[in-house]
């Protein structure tokens, strides 16, 4: 399950969660539509303590701009409010899983 962001303030508040994956997309991005359910499933199966935020960059350009998002899809992963991982455009699920695994284990000891 993901939270669709509707304001800059809402996103900033969510960044204070222990772990957050921010999925930036646009309405015109077909790759985004295919990748999003795979990312959701990865989080549910492997990293259940990470919350997922979905941000439509074309509808919230301020949120995208503040986070230096210039391509879709872009995934940012935050732990304790700090950005640890940034992936854009061509994102492999196994590559994302490997990138998240170590900081997730350090944070949650799983």
Q: In the chain, how many domains are there? A: 1
36-44: long-range pairs with CB below 8 Å, 24+ = 36/2, 36/73, 38/93, 39/75, 39/93, 39/96, 40/1, 40/2, 42/93, 42/96, 42/97
Indicate which CATH number applies to the domain containing 37: 3.40.30.10
This prediction's pTM: 0.93
Structural domain span for residue 24: 2-108
pLDDT in tens, 39-94: 999 999 999 999 999 999 999 999 999 999 999 999 999 999 999 999 998 899 99
pLDDT of residue 109: 85
């Amino acid at each position: 399950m993901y939270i669709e962001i509707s304001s800059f303030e809402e996103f900033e508040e969510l960044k204070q969660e222990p772990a957050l994956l921010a999925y930036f997309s646009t309405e015109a991005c077909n790759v985004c539509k295919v990748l999003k359910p795979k990312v959701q499933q990865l989080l549910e199966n492997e990293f259940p303590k990470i919350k997922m935020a979905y941000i439509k960059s074309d509808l919230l350009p301020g949120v995208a701009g503040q986070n230096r998002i210039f391509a879709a899809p872009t995934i940012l992963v935050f732990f304790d409010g700090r950005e640890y991982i940034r992936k854009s455009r061509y994102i492999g699920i196994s590559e994302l899983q490997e990138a998240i695994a170590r900081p997730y284990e350090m944070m949650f000891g799983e």
